[in-house]
Amino acid sequence: MDDKKLSQLINSKFVVEIPKKDMKRVYDMVEQNLGLSPKQWDAYRHGLAIKESQGGKFTAQPTMNYYLTQGGAGGLYDGRYQLGEDAKADAAKYLGEKNPGHDDKARAAFIDDPVMQEMYLAAYTIKNHQYMSLNIKDKNYQDDPKYNPKDYLLSNTHKRVGLLGFAHNQGHGAAKKYIVTGNDTTDQFNTKGSAYAGFIDDAATNLNVDWN
């Protein structure tokens, strides 16, 4: 075992403490763009992680092994929140950063950087919120013509957060179709998009979060 792998193995069992200044930036981003308080955002991110990397278990004190997770469909998703190539590109675009890429070197750097993962989850979720706020019609992509963004925007916070969880799992297009048709689609692992609302609720209960 080389030194880097040995170091990762040792460090994987320690709780990750994101520096306060970095979490403040994350919390400020989501409050300004999503209207979520820090506790509400914690319920969202810890709820996603229940499914994405923690084997169905809740924790508000994640260890490094969750951030080092790689998997998902085709093994192409990275980190505690299982972000793929497109999600990272969207997040970088929102943050005004260069696309970090998704080759082996870039993926290794991403899973080794919990601060980047927290920042990119926030930025990607904000991008999904922006997409959900529009009925997109262009030459490369068209939403269901029956989709009315008001059905998302005028929902209460609890419902909107659940829909963002759906979008995290299957993309904003599938979340929009769910609003229009009620068709609860599944991912490649047969997980329903609506199940993400349940994971978020689980975290919210553990954290005593009020959605009002």
Q: At what angle do helices 195-207 and 38-52 cross, to 10 degrees?
A: 130
pTM of the predicted model as reported, rounded to 2 decimal places:
0.94
pLDDT at 3: 57
**Do the Cβ atoms of 52 and 62 come closer than 8 Å?**
no
Residue 133 phi/psi, 5-degree rounding, is -85, 5
Which H or E run includes 6?
helix 3-11
Q: Which residues of 97-133 are buried (b: 16+ CB within 10 A; e: fewer)?
A: eeebebeeeebeebbbebbbbbbbbbbbbbbbbebbe
Helix (H) or strand (E) holding 70: strand 70-71
User: Quick check: helix, strand or coil at residue 18?
Assistant: coil
Q: List, for residues 37-69, the tens digit of each pLDDT value.
A: 999 999 999 999 999 999 999 999 999 999 999
Instruction: Report pLDDT for 9.
Output: 53
**What are the residue ranges of helices labelled H in the chain?**
3-11, 20-34, 38-52, 64-67, 85-95, 104-111, 114-132, 150-153, 157-170, 172-181, 195-207
- What is the average per-residue pLDDT within 158-176? 98
For residue 77, the surrounding DSSP H or E stretch is: strand 77-78
Confidence band of 4 (pLDDT split at 50, 70, 90): low
- The per-residue pLDDT for range 15-44, each reduced to its tens digit, is 999 999 999 999 999 999 999 999 999 999
Examine the pLDDT at 10 and tell me if it is beyond 90.
Answer: no
